Structure 1
Amino acid sequence: MSSPTALPLNIIFFGSTGTGKSSMINMLLGEDRALTSSGAKGCTFNNNAYPTTIEGKNYRLYDTSGLDQGSAGTVISKDALRKLYHLVRDLKDGVSLLVYCIQGRPITDTLERNYEIFYDGICCKSVPIVVVVTGLEDQTPDMDAWWKENDTHIESRNMRFDGHACVTATLGKKVKGVFRNQTEYDSSKTALRNLIVKNCRSNPWQKDTTAWFTTVANWLYRSLRSEEDRVDPLSTDLFEVLKQFLSDKDALEIVNQADMTAPDPKS
């Protein structure tokens, strides 16, 4: 009698638009299934999940965008909250790894903020996190040179990682029937697969959906304080968002557990 198939391990790919998240997922899948975009608004954060198998283990790769990319340039928009809740609900089986995708460019405040939102705010510093640096196809033969030059700066920004890989996620143009970046692309695919296998938790970190989303909402409210970044008052907006896809009772439970004052649904 065969043993039951293990549940896929959930991996969240996050980072700003244009950093190659979808391209890396396609590289792991071996086919173009995840939408890619270079536009300012991007085409991710629909919580798209892609199943795949690496070295005999089942994984589910989540393609997301940073919460700093709301349609109006705000972090805690209604749309972002709605999609965040769906992401938390879909991850009821837990999270095994965070993959932060960045480009090989100077370190910015936005990079640090996205790190904090996903690692601290969403996953409570309880999930392994790795970083993948993209856009390094022209830094041959040593793509890892970027990391050697910037790891100290990254650490000074209080960003800690369990592992890293410097890659190219594009094959480039064909020249005489051969893709320009084929060699770098193949080595990048191997490096990314090895990074996932080495750092992915086999026992996922899990929380009850309501408790988890409450924790995330509290963190966002406490940590993203500027007028530019937050919807104010968050409590009313949060209730209005949640009751679009939850019962009033469940929406009130989340808002109340988040220590926020909700409106009376009967009024």
Structure 2
Amino acid sequence: MTEPIRVLVFGTVGTGKTSCCNTLAGKKKEVSNQARGVTFTSQVYEAFEANGKSIVLTDTAGLNESELGTVPANEAFMQLTKLLKNSNEGYNLLIQVFRASRLTILEKNNYDLFVKGIANLKIPVILVVTGCEGFFPMSQWREENREYVESSDLIYKDIICTCFAKAEQRTELEPIYARLRDESRQAVLAAIIKYATETPVKFYDSTGQDYAKSFADMLKQVWEFCRERFKWYLLLAAFEGVFVSFLVDVLEFSEEDARKIVEFFNIN
């Protein structure tokens, strides 16, 4: 059986990221709002077929406005650890999602974190721009903003302008929106199949004898990137024991491996 194409979809809350994933997968998951959005939380969709390929999407909440220039809560750090632990099979492609507006430092920071900090520039990435129903054609956004995107050091294999919204306020326009959603779905799926790597790129070795050290090295690399790039630091009073319990009880590491990870990682 052919292995599925694994895709990590990231972006801030409110960008239409989950609506995009729902439309691509043909399945309904709850769309988060800003109050419920928690950095690095993720949900995995069941595999679905598209153009003869099996695809698995992981919908991940990226950095939000509230995390910029602040101390990240321990909960956010543990969610990051959980995301990375659950990524043991790797990914064939990254998709960044944001709304059709001028790029901000928030989009730049999310790109840097996922593409450079976590994937270490080893996984191709495409940009899906939502909310393009106000442009005619939708690809107009790409033509107007391509030069600015490239000058911001954001390198994508492709930029896909989309609409995944529904005309809930003006129902007479829903047939038009439905056509745009279908058009957008086909364009994104085609890009996934075109740009995905043949085999998943793994963040760490989850099968070898040095599993705990490999995971700890990867986690430390990501954390040091965040600390240097975003000036993050952790308030670690009595956190080591909590983190060990989290690794054992939630992520199902053995206690021996959990303590090795903390020792190798040497959080500070």
SS in 2 for 1:179: helix
2:172 matches 1:165? no
1:90 and 2:86 aligned: yes
- Displacement of 1:135 after TM fit? 0.6
Indicate how the Cα distance of structure 1 residues 77 and 208 shifts in structure 2: closer, same or farther if over 3 A, else same: farther
In structure 1, how many angstroms separate the alpha carbons of the residues matched to 2:239 and 2:225? 16
Does the 8 A contact of 1:19 with 1:134 survive in 2?
Answer: yes
* More displaced 10-residue stretch of structure 1: 80-89 or 207-216: 207-216
Whether 1:218 and 2:224 are equivalent positions in the alignment is: yes
C-alpha distance in 2, partners of 1:156/1:239? 45
Indicate the SS of the match to 2:30: coil
Give unpaired runs (5+ residues) of structure 2. 207-214, 249-253
1:48 equivalent among 30, 33, 43: 43
Q: Secondary structure at the match of 1:99?
A: strand
Q: Which amino acid aligns with 1:47?
A: S
Classify 1:236/1:128 alpha carbon distance in 2 versus 1 (closer, same or farther; 3 Å).
farther
Compute the TM-score of the two structures, normalised by the length of structure 1: 0.83
CA change 1:243–1:175 in 2 (3 A) is closer
Identity, % of aligned pairs? 26
Q: Is the 8 A contact 1:101 1:133 kept in 2?
A: yes
What is the root-mean-square deviation in Å for CA atoms of aligned residues? 2.7
SS in 2 for 1:63: strand
Partner of 1:244, secondary structure, is helix
**Cross-structure match for 2:32:** 37
CA–CA separation in structure 2 for the residues paired with 1:114 and 1:102: 10
- Check 1:73–1:36 CA distance in 2 against 1; reply closer, same or farther (3 A cut): farther
Mapped to 2, the partners of 1:27 and 1:9 lie a distance apart of: 17
CA distance in 2, matches of 1:13, 1:252: 31
**Which structure 1 residue ranges, 5 or more long, are not aligned?**
262-267
Q: 1:40 to 1:149 in 2, by over 3 A?
A: farther
Partner of 1:265: none
Alignment of 1:1-267 (within 5 A): 5-31=1-27, 33-42=28-37, 45-50=40-45, 51-68=47-64, 74=70, 76-140=72-136, 142-173=137-168, 175=171, 179-206=175-202, 207-208=204-205, 210=215, 211-225=217-231, 230-233=232-235, 237=239, 240-246=242-248, 249-258=256-265, 260=267
Deviation at 1:187, TM superposition (A): 1.1
* CA distance in structure 1 between the partners assigned to 2:48 and 2:3 by the alignment: 12
**Aligned length in residues:** 251
Tell me the distance in 2 between the aligned counterparts of 1:95 and 1:52.
Answer: 16
Which range is displaced more, 243-252 or 107-116? Answer: 243-252
Where 1:162 maps in the other structure, the secondary structure is coil
SS where residue 11 of structure 1 aligns? strand
2:9 match: secondary structure? strand
Find the aligned partners of 2:60 and 2:195 in 1 and give their Cα distance: 20
User: Using the alignment, how far apart are the partners of 1:221 and 1:231 within structure 2?
Assistant: 6
Query: Structure 2: how far apart are the matches of 1:181 and 1:187?
Result: 10
**Higher-helix-fraction structure:** 2
- How has the CA–CA distance of structure 1 residues 75 and 46 changed in structure 2, closer, same or farther, with 3 Å as cutoff? same
Q: Give me the whole-angstrom Cα distance separating, in 2, the residues matched to 1:157 and 1:139.
A: 22
Within 2, Cα distance between the matches of 1:17 and 1:97?
20
Aligned equivalents of 2:128, 2:43: Cα separation in 1: 20
The 1:250–1:68 alpha-carbon spacing in structure 2 relative to 1, beyond 3 Å, is: farther
After TM superposition, the score normalised by the length of structure 2 is 0.82
